[in-house]
Amino acid sequence: MLELLKSKILVSDGAIGTELLKLSSEKNPEILNLKKPSLVEKLHIDYINAGADIITTNSFGANPVRIKDINIYELAKASAQIARKAKIDNKFIFGSVGPTGLKPTDKEFKNIDAYFSEQICGLNDGGVDAILIETMIFVEEMKAAYRVARTETKLPIAVSMSFHLTKNGFQTYGGADLKTSVKEMLNLGAEIIGANCGNGFAEMTTLAEKLKSIISETFIIIKPSAGTPKRINDKLIYPDTPNSISKFVEKLISLGVNIIGGCCGTTPEHIKVIRKLVDKTIQSEKAWAQ
């Protein structure tokens, strides 16, 4: 995969959690790995059919803080096995590792390595191709997840934090500024770094420009949310529709982002748009080379 990234933009899938929540009353969509694995598998297949090169396991919140009284190792392993069942040749599976919800100042934070170990070992044993540490807002938690992933596996690791634009520039909701966060991610030695979620494609494109001004060699992953949703008629409506994202995706491509996908609120229809634009760029480059 890493060799492929040197010459090709890879398209990741879109949201897992928000899509599964549309289809089920489960509070924690990760539980569906055990209760309705066919539902999870179908979503992976939908993303593959939309053109995704990378599918992400349904394991974002699979940790003992978010989900009680469940064997987290088995839950995470099941997420990887479901993804492998859906996978076809030339696709990659990223094992999703999200934040626990703990703050570094919390007393329970001392157990963070053990919590991540259950999840990451399950993903590794289930057969993922890489570990994706995503939506992190605390540098300390991001570093802990990376430390465990590097210790417990030999897999490539992608690290992605979540930022929003403030009067002081881009910061995580935990208060870490962009430059500090990127420096910490680079110092870890992760093969892929970047950002996900945030407040939509427009803001994430601006963030990607900032990232490119800091990062010169490491592969970059960008997975924007579909914006900040509004509740209308008891449904969450996201403003960034598939029809509205093209110019932002084109900008991400021109910036040289290596992996482009979607986060909360994005759907297979969003991924179809990204796939089409990435393929258009590839065809243009081939025509130019001839």
- The radius of gyration computed from the CA coordinates of the chain, to the nearest angstrom, equals 18
CB 274 within 8 A of CB 262: yes
Q: Please state, in angstroms and rounded to a whole number, the distance separating the CA atoms of residues 254 and 286.
A: 16
CB 224 within 8 A of CB 204: yes
CB 132 within 8 A of CB 96: yes
Residue type, 59: S
Pairing of strands 235-237, 230-232: antiparallel
Residues 6+ apart with CB under 8 A from 11: 51, 52, 53, 54, 259, 260, 261, 271, 274, 275, 278
Ligand-binding site membership of 121 (annotated):
no
Query: Residue 220 forms beta bridges with which residues?
Result: 193
Which residues are known binding-site members for Zn(2+)? 197, 263-264
Which residues are known binding-site members? 197, 263-264
